[in-house]
Chains A and B, each alone.
Chain A
Amino acid sequence: MSRTALVVGSSVAGIRTAQALCAGGFDGRIVIVGEETTEPYDKPPLSKHFLAGTWDAGKVSLLAGRPLDERVELRLGVPAEHLDIARKYVRLADGTRLPYDQCVIATGAAARPSPWTARDGVHVLRSLSDSAALRQDLLRGGDIVVVGGGFIGAEVAATASRLGGSVTVVDPLPDPMTRVLGPQVGPLLTGIHERHGVRTSFGTGVVSVEGSAGDLRVTLDDGSVLPADTVVVGIGAVPNDGWLRSSGLEISDGVVCDEYCRARGAPEVFAAGDVARWPHPRHGELVRVEHWTNAVEQAACVAHNIIHPDDPVAYRPVEYVWSDQYDWKIQIAGSPARMSGHHLVGNLAGTKPKAAVAYTDADGRLGAAVTVNWPRALVTCRRLLAADADFTQAVTELDLLAAALGERR
Protein backbone atom coordinates (compact mmCIF):
# COMPACT_ATOMS: atom_id res chain seq x y z
CA MET A 1 0.00 0.00 0.00
CA SER A 2 1.37 3.42 -0.90
CA ARG A 3 2.04 5.95 1.81
CA THR A 4 0.07 9.12 2.51
CA ALA A 5 1.40 12.60 3.09
CA LEU A 6 -1.22 14.69 4.83
CA VAL A 7 -0.81 18.45 4.43
CA VAL A 8 -2.82 20.47 6.93
CA GLY A 9 -3.44 23.94 5.56
CA SER A 10 -4.28 25.15 2.04
CA SER A 11 -1.84 28.04 2.43
CA VAL A 12 0.93 28.77 -0.05
CA ALA A 13 3.20 26.59 2.12
CA GLY A 14 0.69 23.73 1.99
CA ILE A 15 0.05 23.88 -1.74
CA ARG A 16 3.74 24.30 -2.53
CA THR A 17 4.64 21.33 -0.34
CA ALA A 18 2.20 19.17 -2.31
CA GLN A 19 3.55 20.48 -5.63
CA ALA A 20 7.15 19.93 -4.55
CA LEU A 21 6.33 16.40 -3.39
CA CYS A 22 4.88 15.62 -6.82
CA ALA A 23 7.77 17.26 -8.67
CA GLY A 24 10.27 15.43 -6.49
CA GLY A 25 8.82 12.00 -7.23
CA PHE A 26 7.00 11.28 -3.96
CA ASP A 27 5.74 7.71 -4.24
CA GLY A 28 2.45 8.02 -2.41
CA ARG A 29 -0.75 10.03 -2.33
CA ILE A 30 -1.11 13.52 -0.92
CA VAL A 31 -4.12 14.90 0.92
CA ILE A 32 -4.44 18.64 1.57
CA VAL A 33 -6.90 19.80 4.21
CA GLY A 34 -8.06 23.42 4.24
CA GLU A 35 -10.35 25.32 6.55
CA GLU A 36 -11.62 27.78 3.97
CA THR A 37 -14.01 26.80 1.21
CA THR A 38 -12.41 29.09 -1.36
CA GLU A 39 -9.88 27.67 -3.80
CA PRO A 40 -6.40 28.12 -2.27
CA TYR A 41 -5.13 31.63 -2.89
CA ASP A 42 -2.09 33.80 -2.55
CA LYS A 43 -1.96 36.46 0.14
CA PRO A 44 0.47 39.19 -1.02
CA PRO A 45 -2.03 40.68 -3.53
CA LEU A 46 -4.67 41.07 -0.80
CA SER A 47 -3.16 44.37 0.33
CA LYS A 48 -2.17 45.41 -3.20
CA HIS A 49 -3.66 44.35 -6.57
CA PHE A 50 -6.71 42.52 -5.23
CA LEU A 51 -7.55 45.27 -2.74
CA ALA A 52 -7.09 47.87 -5.48
CA GLY A 53 -9.40 45.91 -7.77
CA THR A 54 -6.86 45.46 -10.56
CA TRP A 55 -6.73 41.67 -9.94
CA ASP A 56 -9.79 39.46 -9.45
CA ALA A 57 -10.10 36.30 -7.34
CA GLY A 58 -9.05 34.09 -10.25
CA LYS A 59 -5.75 35.88 -10.50
CA VAL A 60 -4.83 35.26 -6.85
CA SER A 61 -5.55 31.54 -7.04
CA LEU A 62 -2.59 29.36 -6.17
CA LEU A 63 -3.71 26.81 -8.72
CA ALA A 64 -3.89 29.41 -11.51
CA GLY A 65 -6.37 27.40 -13.51
CA ARG A 66 -4.11 24.35 -13.57
CA PRO A 67 -5.42 21.22 -11.85
CA LEU A 68 -3.34 19.69 -9.10
CA ASP A 69 -1.53 16.47 -9.84
CA GLU A 70 -3.83 13.41 -9.85
CA ARG A 71 -2.03 12.13 -6.73
CA VAL A 72 -3.32 15.14 -4.77
CA GLU A 73 -6.69 15.24 -3.05
CA LEU A 74 -7.91 18.64 -1.86
CA ARG A 75 -10.40 18.61 1.04
CA LEU A 76 -11.64 22.14 1.63
CA GLY A 77 -14.09 23.67 4.06
CA VAL A 78 -13.38 21.71 7.24
CA PRO A 79 -10.63 22.69 9.69
CA ALA A 80 -8.37 20.20 11.43
CA GLU A 81 -8.91 20.13 15.17
CA HIS A 82 -6.60 17.44 16.55
CA LEU A 83 -3.33 15.76 15.65
CA ASP A 84 -2.60 12.36 17.20
CA ILE A 85 1.13 11.78 16.76
CA ALA A 86 1.13 8.33 18.41
CA ARG A 87 -1.61 6.87 16.21
CA LYS A 88 -0.72 9.08 13.25
CA TYR A 89 -4.01 10.63 12.26
CA VAL A 90 -5.58 14.06 12.08
CA ARG A 91 -9.17 14.58 13.16
CA LEU A 92 -11.22 17.19 11.35
CA ALA A 93 -13.95 19.32 12.92
CA ASP A 94 -16.60 17.10 11.32
CA GLY A 95 -15.16 14.03 13.05
CA THR A 96 -13.38 12.59 10.02
CA ARG A 97 -10.10 10.87 10.87
CA LEU A 98 -7.38 11.11 8.26
CA PRO A 99 -4.46 8.72 8.76
CA TYR A 100 -1.01 9.72 7.56
CA ASP A 101 2.50 8.41 7.16
CA GLN A 102 3.94 11.92 7.09
CA CYS A 103 2.07 15.02 8.22
CA VAL A 104 2.94 18.58 7.18
CA ILE A 105 1.59 21.39 9.33
CA ALA A 106 1.01 24.44 7.12
CA THR A 107 -1.85 26.21 8.84
CA GLY A 108 -0.24 29.63 8.46
CA ALA A 109 -0.97 32.62 10.62
CA ALA A 110 -3.99 34.81 11.36
CA ALA A 111 -4.19 38.57 11.69
CA ARG A 112 -3.60 39.65 15.26
CA PRO A 113 -7.12 40.62 16.32
CA SER A 114 -7.92 44.26 16.92
CA PRO A 115 -7.91 44.99 20.65
CA TRP A 116 -10.29 47.85 19.87
CA THR A 117 -13.81 47.01 18.97
CA ALA A 118 -16.49 49.16 17.45
CA ARG A 119 -19.88 48.13 16.14
CA ASP A 120 -18.50 47.72 12.61
CA GLY A 121 -16.16 49.39 10.15
CA VAL A 122 -12.98 48.11 11.86
CA HIS A 123 -11.07 45.72 9.63
CA VAL A 124 -8.13 43.37 9.84
CA LEU A 125 -6.59 42.00 6.65
CA ARG A 126 -5.48 38.43 6.15
CA SER A 127 -7.98 36.46 4.11
CA LEU A 128 -9.56 36.93 0.70
CA SER A 129 -12.88 37.75 2.34
CA ASP A 130 -11.15 40.30 4.63
CA SER A 131 -9.73 42.00 1.56
CA ALA A 132 -13.03 41.96 -0.32
CA ALA A 133 -14.86 43.43 2.69
CA LEU A 134 -12.24 46.12 3.20
CA ARG A 135 -12.36 47.02 -0.48
CA GLN A 136 -16.12 47.65 -0.25
CA ASP A 137 -15.55 50.13 2.55
CA LEU A 138 -12.54 51.79 0.92
CA LEU A 139 -14.58 52.40 -2.23
CA ARG A 140 -16.90 54.58 -0.17
CA GLY A 141 -13.91 56.90 0.35
CA GLY A 142 -13.85 59.34 3.24
CA ASP A 143 -11.40 59.28 6.12
CA ILE A 144 -9.40 56.09 6.53
CA VAL A 145 -7.31 55.46 9.63
CA VAL A 146 -4.73 52.70 9.36
CA VAL A 147 -3.42 51.46 12.70
CA GLY A 148 0.06 50.00 12.28
CA GLY A 149 2.86 51.34 10.09
CA GLY A 150 4.37 47.96 9.18
CA PHE A 151 4.17 46.29 5.78
CA ILE A 152 0.45 45.58 5.80
CA GLY A 153 -0.44 48.98 7.19
CA ALA A 154 1.79 50.81 4.71
CA GLU A 155 0.51 48.82 1.73
CA VAL A 156 -3.11 49.31 2.74
CA ALA A 157 -2.48 53.03 3.21
CA ALA A 158 -1.00 53.24 -0.27
CA THR A 159 -3.90 51.33 -1.84
CA ALA A 160 -6.56 53.24 0.12
CA SER A 161 -5.02 56.53 -0.91
CA ARG A 162 -5.00 55.42 -4.53
CA LEU A 163 -8.69 54.57 -4.25
CA GLY A 164 -9.37 58.15 -3.21
CA GLY A 165 -9.47 57.92 0.56
CA SER A 166 -8.03 60.53 2.89
CA VAL A 167 -5.62 58.36 4.83
CA THR A 168 -3.83 58.67 8.19
CA VAL A 169 -1.40 56.01 9.42
CA VAL A 170 -0.99 55.66 13.19
CA ASP A 171 1.80 53.80 14.98
CA PRO A 172 3.16 53.94 18.54
CA LEU A 173 6.74 54.07 17.19
CA PRO A 174 8.13 57.36 15.86
CA ASP A 175 9.69 55.37 12.97
CA PRO A 176 7.71 52.17 12.41
CA MET A 177 10.12 50.64 9.91
CA THR A 178 12.79 50.40 12.63
CA ARG A 179 11.10 47.14 13.68
CA VAL A 180 12.32 45.56 10.47
CA LEU A 181 15.21 47.76 9.34
CA GLY A 182 16.81 48.65 12.66
CA PRO A 183 17.17 52.00 14.46
CA GLN A 184 19.54 53.68 11.97
CA VAL A 185 17.90 52.77 8.67
CA GLY A 186 14.24 52.61 9.70
CA PRO A 187 13.89 56.40 10.07
CA LEU A 188 15.11 56.90 6.48
CA LEU A 189 11.83 55.44 5.24
CA THR A 190 9.47 57.17 7.64
CA GLY A 191 8.78 59.97 5.18
CA ILE A 192 7.40 57.73 2.45
CA HIS A 193 3.78 58.32 3.47
CA GLU A 194 3.92 62.11 3.64
CA ARG A 195 5.78 62.18 0.32
CA HIS A 196 2.77 60.42 -1.18
CA GLY A 197 0.13 62.62 0.41
CA VAL A 198 -0.76 60.36 3.31
CA ARG A 199 -0.77 61.81 6.83
CA THR A 200 0.96 60.05 9.71
CA SER A 201 0.61 60.13 13.44
CA PHE A 202 3.71 58.25 14.53
CA GLY A 203 4.84 57.97 18.12
CA THR A 204 1.23 57.85 19.26
CA GLY A 205 -0.70 54.80 20.37
CA VAL A 206 -4.40 54.13 20.03
CA VAL A 207 -6.52 54.27 23.17
CA SER A 208 -9.89 53.40 21.71
CA VAL A 209 -11.96 53.08 18.58
CA GLU A 210 -15.64 53.89 18.97
CA GLY A 211 -18.68 54.30 16.79
CA SER A 212 -19.67 52.44 13.66
CA ALA A 213 -18.78 52.30 9.97
CA GLY A 214 -18.92 55.77 8.45
CA ASP A 215 -18.81 57.41 11.88
CA LEU A 216 -15.82 56.08 13.82
CA ARG A 217 -13.65 57.94 16.31
CA VAL A 218 -10.05 56.86 16.94
CA THR A 219 -8.73 58.28 20.20
CA LEU A 220 -4.94 58.51 20.49
CA ASP A 221 -2.83 58.54 23.63
CA ASP A 222 -1.88 62.20 23.09
CA GLY A 223 -5.55 63.04 23.54
CA SER A 224 -6.31 63.75 19.90
CA VAL A 225 -9.27 62.16 18.16
CA LEU A 226 -9.25 61.13 14.51
CA PRO A 227 -12.63 60.82 12.79
CA ALA A 228 -12.80 57.87 10.43
CA ASP A 229 -15.23 56.24 8.06
CA THR A 230 -13.13 53.07 8.01
CA VAL A 231 -10.39 51.78 10.32
CA VAL A 232 -7.86 49.12 9.35
CA VAL A 233 -5.83 47.42 12.07
CA GLY A 234 -2.56 45.92 10.84
CA ILE A 235 -0.64 45.00 13.97
CA GLY A 236 0.95 41.71 13.03
CA ALA A 237 -0.03 38.09 12.84
CA VAL A 238 -0.22 35.12 15.17
CA PRO A 239 0.49 31.53 14.08
CA ASN A 240 -2.48 29.19 13.68
CA ASP A 241 -1.20 26.63 16.19
CA GLY A 242 -4.14 26.57 18.62
CA TRP A 243 -5.52 23.34 17.10
CA LEU A 244 -2.27 21.58 18.06
CA ARG A 245 -2.55 22.20 21.80
CA SER A 246 -3.96 18.73 22.35
CA SER A 247 -1.26 17.06 20.21
CA GLY A 248 1.55 17.07 22.75
CA LEU A 249 3.82 18.81 20.24
CA GLU A 250 6.03 21.60 21.52
CA ILE A 251 4.20 24.80 20.64
CA SER A 252 5.81 28.15 21.37
CA ASP A 253 4.68 30.91 19.02
CA GLY A 254 4.53 28.28 16.30
CA VAL A 255 5.44 24.62 15.98
CA VAL A 256 8.96 24.11 17.31
CA CYS A 257 11.00 22.11 14.77
CA ASP A 258 14.53 20.85 14.29
CA GLU A 259 16.79 22.19 11.53
CA TYR A 260 15.17 19.77 9.06
CA CYS A 261 11.73 21.31 9.74
CA ARG A 262 10.58 18.19 11.61
CA ALA A 263 8.45 18.89 14.67
CA ARG A 264 10.57 18.28 17.75
CA GLY A 265 9.98 14.78 19.08
CA ALA A 266 7.73 13.74 16.18
CA PRO A 267 9.93 12.74 13.24
CA GLU A 268 7.02 12.08 10.87
CA VAL A 269 5.53 15.52 11.44
CA PHE A 270 6.89 18.56 9.58
CA ALA A 271 5.98 22.23 9.55
CA ALA A 272 6.36 24.86 6.85
CA GLY A 273 5.54 28.52 6.41
CA ASP A 274 4.22 31.06 8.92
CA VAL A 275 3.43 28.41 11.54
CA ALA A 276 6.93 26.84 11.69
CA ARG A 277 9.65 27.82 14.16
CA TRP A 278 13.04 26.28 13.58
CA PRO A 279 16.68 26.82 14.60
CA HIS A 280 18.07 29.03 11.83
CA PRO A 281 21.80 28.25 11.46
CA ARG A 282 22.53 31.82 10.36
CA HIS A 283 21.01 33.30 13.51
CA GLY A 284 21.78 30.60 16.05
CA GLU A 285 18.28 30.66 17.49
CA LEU A 286 14.73 29.60 16.82
CA VAL A 287 12.98 31.84 14.30
CA ARG A 288 9.58 32.01 12.66
CA VAL A 289 9.36 33.84 9.34
CA GLU A 290 6.11 35.13 7.83
CA HIS A 291 7.34 35.84 4.31
CA TRP A 292 5.93 34.43 1.08
CA THR A 293 9.32 33.30 -0.19
CA ASN A 294 10.02 31.53 3.09
CA ALA A 295 6.81 29.54 2.73
CA VAL A 296 7.82 28.46 -0.77
CA GLU A 297 11.42 27.60 0.13
CA GLN A 298 10.52 25.85 3.36
CA ALA A 299 7.86 23.82 1.52
CA ALA A 300 10.53 22.66 -0.93
CA CYS A 301 12.84 21.72 1.95
CA VAL A 302 10.11 19.76 3.72
CA ALA A 303 9.20 17.93 0.52
CA HIS A 304 12.83 16.99 -0.01
CA ASN A 305 13.15 15.73 3.54
CA ILE A 306 10.00 13.62 3.22
CA ILE A 307 11.17 12.07 -0.04
CA HIS A 308 14.78 11.59 1.12
CA PRO A 309 14.61 10.71 4.83
CA ASP A 310 18.15 9.29 4.71
CA ASP A 311 19.59 12.42 3.15
CA PRO A 312 17.75 15.34 4.77
CA VAL A 313 18.88 18.93 4.21
CA ALA A 314 18.95 21.55 6.95
CA TYR A 315 16.90 24.65 6.26
CA ARG A 316 19.13 27.75 6.20
CA PRO A 317 17.50 30.30 3.90
CA VAL A 318 18.47 33.89 3.21
CA GLU A 319 15.18 35.50 4.22
CA TYR A 320 13.60 37.65 1.54
CA VAL A 321 10.57 39.87 1.67
CA TRP A 322 9.26 42.69 -0.48
CA SER A 323 6.80 45.45 0.13
CA ASP A 324 5.19 47.57 -2.59
CA GLN A 325 4.27 50.90 -1.04
CA TYR A 326 2.87 53.61 -3.33
CA ASP A 327 5.23 53.51 -6.34
CA TRP A 328 8.17 52.32 -4.24
CA LYS A 329 9.49 48.80 -4.23
CA ILE A 330 11.16 47.94 -0.94
CA GLN A 331 13.05 44.63 -0.87
CA ILE A 332 14.77 43.11 2.13
CA ALA A 333 17.16 40.18 2.35
CA GLY A 334 18.38 38.65 5.57
CA SER A 335 17.32 40.02 8.92
CA PRO A 336 18.45 43.68 9.14
CA ALA A 337 17.21 44.36 12.65
CA ARG A 338 19.72 41.82 14.00
CA MET A 339 22.72 43.58 12.42
CA SER A 340 25.09 46.21 13.76
CA GLY A 341 26.62 48.51 11.12
CA HIS A 342 25.41 49.54 7.70
CA HIS A 343 26.45 51.39 4.56
CA LEU A 344 24.16 53.29 2.20
CA VAL A 345 24.76 53.23 -1.56
CA GLY A 346 22.78 55.83 -3.51
CA ASN A 347 20.44 58.07 -1.57
CA LEU A 348 16.91 57.99 -0.32
CA ALA A 349 15.90 61.57 -1.08
CA GLY A 350 13.50 62.51 -3.88
CA THR A 351 10.20 61.16 -5.05
CA LYS A 352 11.53 57.91 -6.53
CA PRO A 353 14.95 57.16 -5.05
CA LYS A 354 17.14 54.22 -5.97
CA ALA A 355 19.27 53.01 -3.09
CA ALA A 356 20.66 50.02 -1.27
CA VAL A 357 21.69 49.56 2.32
CA ALA A 358 24.15 46.79 3.15
CA TYR A 359 24.31 45.63 6.77
CA THR A 360 27.27 43.97 8.43
CA ASP A 361 27.14 41.23 11.02
CA ALA A 362 29.46 40.94 14.02
CA ASP A 363 32.00 38.93 11.99
CA GLY A 364 32.42 41.50 9.22
CA ARG A 365 30.31 39.62 6.71
CA LEU A 366 27.36 40.94 4.76
CA GLY A 367 24.49 40.21 7.14
CA ALA A 368 21.43 41.71 5.46
CA ALA A 369 20.38 44.23 2.83
CA VAL A 370 17.49 46.47 1.94
CA THR A 371 16.98 48.07 -1.44
CA VAL A 372 14.56 50.73 -2.58
CA ASN A 373 13.49 50.69 -6.23
CA TRP A 374 16.59 48.72 -7.16
CA PRO A 375 15.81 45.01 -7.63
CA ARG A 376 19.11 44.41 -9.36
CA ALA A 377 21.08 45.43 -6.27
CA LEU A 378 18.88 43.16 -4.18
CA VAL A 379 19.72 40.20 -6.42
CA THR A 380 23.41 40.94 -5.92
CA CYS A 381 22.95 41.06 -2.16
CA ARG A 382 20.95 37.82 -2.02
CA ARG A 383 23.71 36.08 -3.96
CA LEU A 384 26.41 37.50 -1.69
CA LEU A 385 24.44 36.63 1.44
CA ALA A 386 24.07 33.04 0.30
CA ALA A 387 27.83 32.92 -0.26
CA ASP A 388 28.60 34.40 3.21
CA ALA A 389 30.51 37.23 1.50
CA ASP A 390 32.50 39.92 3.29
CA PHE A 391 30.75 43.20 3.98
CA THR A 392 33.49 45.20 2.22
CA GLN A 393 33.16 43.04 -0.89
CA ALA A 394 29.42 43.63 -0.88
CA VAL A 395 29.84 47.38 -0.63
CA THR A 396 32.37 47.31 -3.49
CA GLU A 397 29.98 45.34 -5.70
CA LEU A 398 27.12 47.69 -4.91
CA ASP A 399 29.31 50.71 -5.70
CA LEU A 400 30.22 49.13 -9.04
CA LEU A 401 26.57 48.48 -9.77
CA ALA A 402 25.74 52.10 -8.94
CA ALA A 403 28.57 53.38 -11.15
CA ALA A 404 27.41 51.22 -14.06
CA LEU A 405 23.92 52.56 -13.57
CA GLY A 406 25.22 56.14 -13.69
CA GLU A 407 27.10 55.45 -16.93
CA ARG A 408 24.06 53.98 -18.65
CA ARG A 409 21.78 56.81 -17.66
Chain B
Amino acid sequence: MSILRADHGACQGYANCVVGAPDTYDIDDDGVVVLLREHVSEEERPRIEEAARSCPVSALTVEDE
Protein backbone atom coordinates (compact mmCIF):
# COMPACT_ATOMS: atom_id res chain seq x y z
CA MET B 1 0.00 0.00 0.00
CA SER B 2 1.04 3.61 -0.60
CA ILE B 3 -0.03 6.64 1.37
CA LEU B 4 -1.51 9.77 -0.17
CA ARG B 5 -0.66 13.26 0.99
CA ALA B 6 -2.00 16.67 0.05
CA ASP B 7 -0.59 20.10 0.85
CA HIS B 8 -3.82 22.01 1.44
CA GLY B 9 -2.01 25.31 1.74
CA ALA B 10 -0.37 24.90 -1.67
CA CYS B 11 -3.56 23.76 -3.43
CA GLN B 12 -4.93 26.39 -5.80
CA GLY B 13 -8.06 24.56 -6.93
CA TYR B 14 -6.81 23.80 -10.42
CA ALA B 15 -8.50 20.40 -10.04
CA ASN B 16 -6.49 18.41 -12.58
CA CYS B 17 -6.26 15.70 -9.90
CA VAL B 18 -10.06 15.40 -9.71
CA VAL B 19 -10.28 14.95 -13.46
CA GLY B 20 -7.44 12.41 -13.39
CA ALA B 21 -8.66 10.32 -10.44
CA PRO B 22 -12.18 11.28 -9.33
CA ASP B 23 -12.34 8.23 -7.05
CA THR B 24 -9.41 9.57 -5.02
CA TYR B 25 -9.43 13.35 -5.20
CA ASP B 26 -12.22 15.90 -4.88
CA ILE B 27 -12.36 19.61 -4.14
CA ASP B 28 -14.59 21.45 -1.70
CA ASP B 29 -16.68 24.59 -2.21
CA ASP B 30 -13.64 26.76 -1.50
CA GLY B 31 -11.69 25.00 -4.20
CA VAL B 32 -9.35 23.08 -1.88
CA VAL B 33 -8.41 19.45 -2.50
CA VAL B 34 -10.10 16.72 -0.46
CA LEU B 35 -8.56 13.24 -0.21
CA LEU B 36 -11.32 10.68 -0.58
CA ARG B 37 -9.04 7.99 0.80
CA GLU B 38 -5.64 7.75 2.45
CA HIS B 39 -4.15 4.66 0.88
CA VAL B 40 -3.87 3.13 -2.58
CA SER B 41 -2.75 -0.34 -3.60
CA GLU B 42 0.43 -0.86 -5.61
CA GLU B 43 -1.75 -1.89 -8.52
CA GLU B 44 -3.52 1.48 -8.55
CA ARG B 45 -0.47 3.54 -7.76
CA PRO B 46 0.63 4.41 -11.34
CA ARG B 47 -2.80 5.85 -12.17
CA ILE B 48 -3.00 7.85 -8.95
CA GLU B 49 0.58 9.05 -9.37
CA GLU B 50 -0.24 10.33 -12.83
CA ALA B 51 -3.19 12.27 -11.39
CA ALA B 52 -0.94 13.63 -8.61
CA ARG B 53 1.69 14.64 -11.20
CA SER B 54 -0.95 16.63 -13.07
CA CYS B 55 -1.07 19.11 -10.17
CA PRO B 56 0.42 22.39 -11.42
CA VAL B 57 1.63 23.35 -7.94
CA SER B 58 2.90 19.90 -6.88
CA ALA B 59 0.54 19.81 -3.91
CA LEU B 60 0.04 16.03 -4.11
CA THR B 61 2.35 13.13 -3.39
CA VAL B 62 2.08 9.37 -3.28
CA GLU B 63 4.57 7.90 -0.83
CA ASP B 64 5.74 4.47 0.26
CA GLU B 65 4.22 3.47 3.53
B49 in contact with A322 (CB, 8 Å): no
Determine which of A23, A64, A376 lies in contact with B49 in the assembled complex, contact meaning CB atoms within 8 Å: A23
Residue B16, interface by CB 8 Å = yes
Interface size on A, residues (CB 8 A): 28
Complex Cα–Cα for A325 and B46 (A)? 34
CB distance from A19 to the nearest CB of B (A): 7
Contact between chains at A322 and B14 (CB < 8 Å): yes
> How big is chain B's contact interface, by range?
10 to 19
The residue in chain B whose Cβ has the minimal distance to the Cβ of A401 is B29
Tell me, rounded to whole Å, the shortest Cβ–Cβ distance linking A381 to chain B. Answer: 10
Which of A300, A378, A386 contacts B15 (CB under 8 A)?
A: A378
Interface string of B1-15 (1 = CB under 8 A from A): 000000000001111
- As a 0/1 sequence over residues 35 to 74 of chain A, the CB contacts with chain B under 8 angstroms (1 = contact) are 0000000101000000000000000000010000000000
Partner of A296, one of B18, B22, B54, B58: B54
> Which of B12, B14, B22, B46 is the most central at the interface, judged by chain A CB atoms within 10 Å of its CB?
B14
Collect the chain B residues with CB atoms within 8 Å of residue A373's CB. Answer: 31
Q: Name the interface residues of B9-65: CB closer than 8 Å to any CB of A.
A: 12-16, 18-19, 22, 27-29, 31, 46, 49-50, 53-54, 56, 58
B56 near A42: Cβ-Cβ < 8 Å: yes
For B56, what are the chain A residues with a Cβ–Cβ distance below 8 Å? Answer: 42, 44, 292-293, 322
Q: Does A382 contact B (CB under 8 A)?
A: yes
Interface of B is mostly: loop
Interface contact A329-B16, CB-CB below 8 Å: no
A16, A320, A376, A386: the one contacting B31 at CB < 8 Å is A376
The answer to whether A376 and B29 have CB atoms under 8 Å apart is yes
Residues of A within 8 A of B18 (CB): 379
Q: Verify if A375 is at the interface (C-beta below 8 Å from B).
A: yes
Q: Cβ of B14: which chain A residues have Cβ within 8 Å of it?
A: 322, 331, 375
B13 touches A382 (CB 8 A): no
For B28, list chain A residues within 8 Å (CB). 376
> Which residues on A sit within 8 Å (CB–CB) of B29?
376, 405, 408
Q: Are A23 and B15 in touch, CB under 8 angstroms?
A: no
What are the residues of chain B within 8 A of A329 when measuring CB–CB?
12-13, 31
Bound CA span A16–B53, Å: 9
Residue A324 lies at the interface, judged by CB distance under 8 Å to chain B: yes
A3 interface residue, CB < 8 Å from B?
Answer: no
Q: Are A293 and B12 in contact (CB under 8 A)?
A: no
8 further A-B pairs in the complex, CB-CB below 8 A; given A19-B53, A292-B56, A374-B31: A296-B53, A322-B56, A329-B31, A331-B15, A375-B15, A379-B27, A383-B22, A386-B19
- Cβ contacts A to B, 6 pairs, < 8 Å: A296-B54, A329-B31, A373-B31, A375-B14, A376-B27, A379-B19
